[in-house]
């Protein structure tokens, strides 16, 4: 079982070293960069990664294209702001030693937000398929929130993939602005009608679900911020979708 770890990047000099340095279990690290103007490519090359520069195709298409360029059939797909925990890396080493029984594997993702690891708010365990055979699985999703679709069996790894999200509220606002535009474009492309009642009611329900039902209050002040931002995300997504229709 030989693994190529793939990461798609654009201006990720803050994150890329941490991601690559966590991938000692990979037999190859492949970076597909779409026009970075910072030190992303330089840092990746210095850390021994193979770097390919390519035009942006969209999240799913870019990740699938990266998998096609890999030297090995097993793909470990990370985002630049993610890293394997030491326990997850050891688990993958053991999987390589014993041999895989499935065609793809999920792993729980633990997010760090405003300096705190988030264990509630609907953010954990947030299982993602990130390790897969490229002939049995691929990314799907045209706009945002891409995911891996598997044509075979799926196993579960037990240790955490670490996700280093926003260090500041302003950074979170910028992320929300970007992703709500993509989400609204997806709704518009699907011709989903968004009545005004949803613009008003859904953000309130999102806050209540995140903070109370998903126990965001246990995440302290950061949990309250997450609930507010989740409501803001919903409002902005629907408002933009209505303007696009």
Q: How many CB atoms lie within 10 A of CB 176?
A: 18
Angle between the 169-189 and 220-244 helix axes, to the nearest 10 degrees? 30
The pLDDT, as a whole number, for residue 245 is 79
Can you give 11-68 as a three-state secondary structure string?
Answer: CCCCCHHHHHHCCCCCCEEEEEECCCCCCHHHHHHHCCCEEEECCCCCHHHHHHHHHH
**pLDDT over 90 at 170, yes or no:** yes
What is the rounded distance in angstroms from the CA atom of residue 12 to the CA atom of residue 35? 11
Task: Give per-residue pLDDT as tens, 131-169.
Answer: 999 999 999 997 888 999 999 999 999 999 999 999 999
**β-pairing verdict for 137-140 and 74-79:** unpaired
* Residue tagged 């992303």 (tokens): 40
- Can you tell me the mean pLDDT for 195-204? 97
Are the beta carbons of 165 and 113 closer than 8 angstroms?
yes
pLDDT of residue 174: 96
- Give residue 142's pLDDT: 79
CA distance linking residue 8 with residue 60, whole number of Å: 10
Beta-carbon count within 10 A of 47 CB: 15
Please give the CATH number for the structural domain made up of 3-164: 3.90.550.10
What's residue 74's pLDDT?
Answer: 98
Q: What is the pLDDT of residue 212?
A: 98
**How confident is the model over 66-102, as pLDDT tens digits?**
999 999 999 999 999 999 999 999 999 999 999 999 9
Average pLDDT of the segment spanning 185-214? 96
CA distance 7 to 62: 10
Q: Residues 140, 132: contact at Cβ < 8 Å?
A: no
pLDDT at site 144:
82
pTM to 2 decimals? 0.96
Q: Are 31 and 9 in contact (CB under 8 A)?
A: yes
Helix locations, 70-195, DSSP H: 86-98, 169-189
Say what the pLDDT of residue 143 is. 85
Residue with tokens 């891996």: 148
Q: Would you state the pLDDT for residue 243?
A: 95
Phi, psi of 168 (to 5 degrees): -145, 160
Q: DSSP class of residue 167?
A: S
pLDDT digits (tens, 9 = 90+) for 33-73: 999 999 999 999 999 999 999 999 999 999 999 999 999 99
Mean pLDDT of 13-26: 98
At 198 the three-state DSSP class reads helix
CA trace torsion 42, 83, 58, 29 (10° rounding): 50
Task: Kindly list the domain boundaries of the chain, sorted by start residue.
Answer: 3-164, 169-244
pLDDT of residue 28: 98
């Amino acid at each position: 079982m030989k693994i190529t770890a793939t990461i798609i990047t654009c201006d990720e000099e803050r994150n890329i070293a941490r991601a690559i340095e966590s991938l000692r279990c990979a037999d190859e690290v492949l970076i597909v960069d779409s026009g970075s103007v910072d030190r992303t490519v330089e840092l990746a090359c210095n850390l021994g990664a193979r770097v390919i520069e390519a035009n942006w195709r969209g999240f799913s298409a870019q990740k699938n294209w990266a998998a096609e360029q890999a030297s090995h059939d097993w793909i470990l797909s990370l985002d630049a702001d993610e890293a394997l925990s030491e326990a997850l890396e050891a688990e993958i080493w053991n999987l390589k030693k014993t041999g895989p029984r499935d065609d793809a594997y999920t792993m729980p993702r633990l997010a760090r937000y405003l300096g705190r690891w988030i264990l509630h708010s609907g953010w954990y365990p947030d299982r993602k398929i990130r390790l897969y055979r490229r002939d049995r699985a691929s990314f799907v999703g045209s706009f945002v929130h891409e995911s891996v679709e598997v044509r075979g069996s799926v196993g579960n790894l037990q240790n955490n993939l670490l996700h280093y999200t926003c260090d500041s509220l302003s950074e979170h606002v910028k992320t929300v602005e970007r992703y709500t535009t993509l989400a609204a474009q997806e709704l518009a492309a699907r011709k989903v009608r968004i009545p005004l009642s949803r613009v008003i009611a859904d953000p309130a329900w999102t806050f209540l679900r995140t903070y109370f039902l998903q126990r965001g209050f246990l995440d302290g002040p950061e949990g309250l911020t997450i609930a507010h931002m989740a409501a803001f995300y919903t409002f902005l997504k629907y408002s933009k979708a209505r303007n696009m229709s």
